[in-house]
Amino acid sequence: MSDTAVPIALKAKDFKSDQEVRWCPGCGDYAILAAVQSFLPELGIPKENICFVSGIGCSSRFPYYLTTYGMHSIHGRAPTIATGLATSRPDLSVWVVTGDGDALSIGGNHLIHALRRNVNLKILLFNNRIYGLTKGQYSPTSEIGKITKSTPMGSLDYPFNPLSLALGAEATFVARTIDSDRKHLTDVLRAAAEHEGSALVEIYQNCNIFNDGAFDLLKDADSRDDELIRLVDGEPIVFGAEGQHAVVRNAHGGLKIVPTDSVDASEIVTHDAHSSDTTTAFALTRLSDPETLHHTPIGVLRHVERPSYDRLMAEQMTIAAENGVGDLQSLLKGSDTWTID
Amino acid sequence: MPKETVQLDQVIIRFAGDSGDGMQLTGDRFTAETATFGNDLSTLPDFPAEIRAPAGTLPGVSAFQLHFADHDIMTPGDAPNVLVAMNPAALKANLKDLPRGGDLIVNTDEFTSRNLSKVGYADNPIEDGSLESYNVHPIALTSLTVQSLKDFDLTKKEAERAKNMFALGLLSWLYERPTDGTERFLHEKFERKPEILKANLAALQAGWNYGETTEDFSVRYEIKPAPLAEGTYRNISGNLALAYGLVAAGQQTKLPVYLGTYPITPASDILHELSKHKKFGVRTFQAEDEIAGIGAAIGASYGGSLGVTTTSGPGVALKSEAIGLAVALELPLIVVDVQRGGPSTGLPTKTEQADLLQAMFGRNGEAPVPIIAPQSPSDCFDAALEAARIATTYRTPVFLLSDGYLANGSEPWQVPNVSELPDLTVTFTTENNWTNEDGSTEFMPFARDPETLARPWAIPGTPGLEHRIGGIEKADITGHISYDPDNHDKMVRLRQAKVDGIAKTIPDLEVDDPTGDAKVLVIGWGSTFGPIGAACRLVRDGGGKVAQAHLRHLNPFPANTGDILKRYDRVIVPEMNLGQLCMLLRAKFLVDAISYNQVRGMPFKSHELEAVIKDVISNV
Ligand SMILES: Cc1ncc(C[n+]2csc(CCOP(=O)(O)OP(=O)(O)O)c2C)c(N)n1
Ligand code: SF4
Ligand SMILES: [Mg+2]
């Protein structure tokens, strides 16, 4: 046991494990790892009470590079393992690290059920729009027509928008951020950590080997201001270097983008992550172009309160034991016995 | 005038009717009455997978067979002495099993031309003489029930529904069964429906009175209580015993039990039962599928619970990858497979033991998993405790192979004294477990206990022991990722040696050979214990010599298994599969064992096995 009994004053380096990081040089995963390592001390939680559970994929190697408890499990199943851990150990802070293939292809079923249950999990979905570990096949978030090793004539399937999916799955916390924006990434992690229940954080992550530049439109200095919609809770949704684009309602109940000076200020939608109605949050996710990611909102889209599954399960356990814990002998005996003597 | 009472030493009754007739309930209640009376007993519910197949059709027939006796018995019986047929479909489906001269109680009200034609009877068998060789008791059960309830505020349908209680009352009279347990049961069941309660009680009484007054039954039967060992008894089914065994395992290990599961016949009742026992610290999680069920159980085990997952064969198939993960993680886990007929959906409500090789080998890579199989319904309790002992001591997933016959069948169970249950207390690792040359200490997640080869179980929340585990191969001792060829070879062998080493802690295989000089051994596993045992008795009653052994541990086998097999000229292995144990025994011990198989969804009939054994004996 460590002899440093912790009143916590941990630093980023305290969360860096001695394992050699084996991602490709230049991979976006490095930036996310560094951001998480420097964010974790902020949680104020002793290391031993934090656990990272991952599936399989490049991104899922994440737990090995941290000094918390961790499990690198099997492809797509991390939410299930994390659910068992979180619901049996509400004292822990449980994080899931997953990729676009891991979470949305093989593990899609588990993801949606974890979200609807609102298990107390912080799910970090590293979306590089490609299968990295298996060397570059298209993924459920790849754009249609993607030429990869497995799709020489272009992929045929329409991609998921992970945030639309999460909202449809009754998620209580839904956010998106980008590997290269350390400050935004950290702010979103902080908001997710403070949320009780499932938090889905989609992180756009560059795979410089198999899908390099997938998010350049959103990152390049000359395009990003006009392409990224940075959501700020309680603020009117405007973007562009001069705030020249604004989000307003369209005639069909959805949203559209117009020049800010073409509308009255009162028409501009004010972002409300806490709205109990998912309609606007959903419409926000639909603003982005599924192929190019043109007009992509980032930030916290939805953040509402609903009792977590863990809490509800713990409450039932407490209620059941209200009149005393179980007596095994009387359970085994039951009510219909006979005696032979 | 009181009727004459005839003494019998045993009776086998089969209740058969439409799925909606309440035959399982009637059988259960008659069983409970019989248990309270003190007979030894064994039951075989046999029902269709459809909840309500079309009324009156052959696929809709649901049956319940009960064997009870004044001595100890091992099976629900090969063929009934008494068949209660509530409709023509039930008669048609079951008559072939009733020996000539057997008692046949039929509900004449249901033998209408419409119902008869539904199952292809051109004429009414009750009237056309085709049942001449049976002892037929035609009774208008439905109309007698309705008539006895005419003073109640009930619809005709509601009144008709009580006919199973009338039948139960009549049979309770016929076999002198006490009915107070059933009355109590009805009070609980219909607490909030006083009119229905009164009607059911009245129908039960009317059935009893009918027996007393009708001239159709001239005698009553008495089956004296069986001389069981001293103690307190109850009747218990395999699934209930298994659920109780898991609750007890939590208490004895002092770990919270966590069941992660997905409903599937015939395992769901274990989930239903465990969900009632939260005050024992038992958590139940109904997941989105089998994979999520086992995933949650593994996550809970990682966090320091006794992780359990329950399923049947198709669910095991889905869980295979996760079981392999648990092998690699070396965490405790109990995987309960209540086997049913396969492949695929197969026969959901019928029994089979064809998942042995799936449990043994159904994973990628070298992934050894200990396997234990209970041999009777009540033995499911002890098997669950044993599974927990192995899982926690050796930090390994363990298979518990029950089956549909054990799950739904029941027998008297001597209620164990809780103070005599094994102490399985688990201690987690909370300190560094490794000393370096310079005297400093460290935590090594894959440093093993020299005795058991188990690795430490250090749960999240333990300061200083933070570590990472995973399905990717780990370096011996440190647990770091390792692709080193020698390390992999070593780890594969270590995991195998750990499981093989369990044999040191399991009892030797025992042989039952009363004369001590039998030349033929019959060896089985799991739920065939009763039928094989009964068959051996029949052989011995006829002057034959046969030895019986039964395997409870299938991986690893008890240490003396090979020695025992080699002692006999011939070894017979009866199984409800195409020879899975036989294949393992032949491969491991080079014995020329004879496989005898049936996969009919039903337990072996002991007379059939008797003939097989005799045949082998005569050819030695
Ligand atoms: C059951 C199973 N099927 C397939 C694989 C192979 N596999 C490993 S990772 C992966 C896809 C990973 O893609 P993603 O989740 O996007 O992670 P990334 O590597 O891009 O971070 C696949 C198909 C596996 N490990 N297990
Ligand atoms: S393949 Fe792509 S995602 Fe994987 S480590 Fe390399 S750059 Fe990163
Ligand atoms: Mg990916």
Percent helix, percent strand, percent coil in chain A, to nearest 5 = 35, 20, 45
Of A74, A113, A317, the CB nearest to B283: A317
- B538-558 pLDDT, tens per residue? 999 999 999 999 999 999 999
Task: Give the per-residue pLDDT at A8.
Answer: 61
* A330 shares contact with chain B (CB less than 8 Å): no
Question: Stretch B553-575: mean pLDDT, rounded?
Answer: 98
| A257: amino acid identity, one letter | I
**Contact predicate B295/A80, CB 8 Å:** yes
B366 and B433 assigned to the same domain:
no
pLDDT for B495 equals: 98
CATH of the domain at B155: 3.40.920.10
In a domain, B490, yes or no: yes
Q: State the pTM of this model.
A: 0.94
CA angle A197, A200, A205 (to 5 degrees): 155
Does pLDDT of B224 surpass 50?
yes
pLDDT at B182 over 60: yes
The answer to whether residues B80 and B166 belong to one domain is yes
Assign A340 a pLDDT band (cuts: 50, 70, 90): confident
Note whether B368 and B483 are same-domain residues.
no
| pLDDT given for residue B3 in this prediction | 80
Q: Per this entry, what is the length of chain A?
A: 341
* Residues B62-118: tens digit of each pLDDT: 999 999 999 999 999 999 999 999 999 999 999 999 999 999 999 999 999 999 999
Index of the ligand 2 atom closest to the CA of residue A28: 8
Q: Are residues B612 and B548 in the same domain?
A: yes
pLDDT band at residue A336, thresholds of 50, 70 and 90? confident
Q: What is the pLDDT of residue A166?
A: 98
pLDDT digits (tens, 9 = 90+) for B572-610: 999 999 999 999 999 999 999 999 999 999 999 999 999
**Is residue B474 a part of any domain in this protein?**
yes
Cβ distance B238 to B407 under 8 Å? yes
**Residue B228 within a domain:** no
Q: How many CB atoms lie within 10 A of CB B585?
A: 22
Are B338 and B242 found together in one domain?
yes
What are the backbone dihedrals phi and psi of residue A276, each rounded to the nearest 5 degrees, phi first? -75, -20
Structure confidence at residue A9 as a pLDDT band (50, 70, 90): confident
Give the DSSP H or E segment for A99: strand A93-99
On the 0-12 / 13-18 / 19+ scale of CB atoms within 10 A, A230 is: middle
Helix (H) / strand (E) element for B253: namely helix B238-253
Could you tell me which chain B residue has the CA closest to the CA of A112?
B288
Report helix angle B313-329 to B290-302, nearest 10: 30
Helix (H, G, I), strand (E, B) or coil at B150: coil
Rounded mean pLDDT, B380-389: 98
**Residue-level pLDDT at B126:** 94
Q: pLDDT exceeding 70 applies to what percent of chain B?
A: 100
- What pLDDT shows up at residue B465? 98
Sequence-ordered alpha helix ranges (H) in chain A: 28-43, 78-88, 100-101, 108-117, 162-168, 182-194, 216-219, 224-227, 279-285, 309-320, 328-333
Judgement on whether residues B373 and B449 belong to the same structural domain of the protein: no
Cα dihedral: B440, B446, B447, B453 (round 10): 170
Among the partner-chain residues B416, B464, B471, the one whose CB lies closest to the CB of A1 is B464
Q: Residues B443, B527: one domain? A: no
CATH number of the domain at B598, please.
3.40.50.920
Q: Count CB neighbours of B86 within 10 A.
A: 28
| Last residue in a domain, options B180, B197, B222 | B222
**For B53, what's the count of Cα atoms within 13 Å in the CB-facing half-sphere?**
15
Q: How far is the CA of A236 from the centre of ligand 3 (A)?
A: 33
Judge whether B186 lies within some domain: yes
ipTM above 0.95, yes or no: yes
Task: Give the span between the Cα atoms of B417 and B435, in whole angstroms.
Answer: 43
The pLDDT assigned to B180 comes to 92
Do B327 and B442 sit in the same domain of this protein?
no
* pLDDT score at A3: 45
The residues that bridge with B239 in the sheet, in sequence order, are: none
Place of tokens 């939260």: B278
Q: Which residues line ligand 1 (CB under 6 A)?
A: A 56-59, 75, 99-102, 126, 128, 130-134, 139
Same domain (yes/no): B337, B397 = yes
B229 assigned to some structural domain: no
For the domain that residue B385 is a member of, what is the CATH number? 3.40.50.970
Instruction: For residue B620, give both structure tokens.
Output: 């030695």
Cβ atoms A83, A55 nearer than 8 A: no
Place A337 in a pLDDT band, splitting at 50, 70 and 90: confident
Judge whether residue A325 has pLDDT over 80.
yes
> Which pLDDT score is estimated for B266?
97
Res B502 pLDDT > 70: yes
Q: For A234-256, what is the mean pLDDT?
A: 97
Signed CA dihedral, B539, B543, B547, B550: sign only = positive
Domain, as residue range, for B473: 427-505
Residue B129 lies in a domain: yes
pLDDT of A4: 46
Mutate to test the pocket of ligand 1, among A30, A133, A207 (most ligand atoms within 8 A of CB): A133
Query: Where is the domain boundary, B391, B420, B449?
Result: B420
Q: With bands split at pLDDT 50, 70 and 90, how would you rate the model's confidence at B216?
A: confident
| Amino acid identity for residue B615 in this structure | D
- Which alpha helices (DSSP H) does B395-451 contain, by range? 404-408
For A325, the enclosing helix (H) or strand (E) is none
State the ligand closest to the CA atom of A77: 1
- The average pLDDT across B394-402 equals 98
Please tell me whether residues B399 and B447 are part of one structural domain: no
For residue A128, the ligand 2 atom closest to its alpha carbon is: 3
Contact call for residues B142 and B107 (beta carbons, < 8 A): yes
Looking at residue A7, what is its pLDDT?
Answer: 54
Could you tell me if residue B151 is inside a domain? yes
- What residues contact A96, with CB distance under 8 A and at least 6 apart? A52, A53, A54, A78, A79, A82, A114, A121, A122, A123, A124
Cβ contacts of residue A329 below 8 Å, gap of 6+? B417, B418
Query: What's the whole-number mean pLDDT along residues A242-263?
Result: 97
| Strands B103-107 and B257-261, bridge-based pairing | unpaired
The residue of chain B with its CA nearest to that of A339 is: B232
Considering chain A, what is the average pLDDT of its residues? Answer: 96
B291/A338 Cβ within 8 A: no
Domain boundary among B170, B190, B222: B222
Shared-domain flag, residues B396 and B485: no
What residues contact B479, with CB distance under 8 A and at least 6 apart? B444, B445, B446, B467, B468, B469
Residues B467 and B559 in one domain: no
What is the separation of C-alpha B228 from the centre of its chain, rounded to a whole number of angstroms? 22
Number of domains chain B contains:
4
CB contact at 8 A, A62 and A68: no
In a domain, B409, yes or no: yes
Token couple for B179: 């009915």
pLDDT in tens, A124-140: 999 999 999 999 999 99
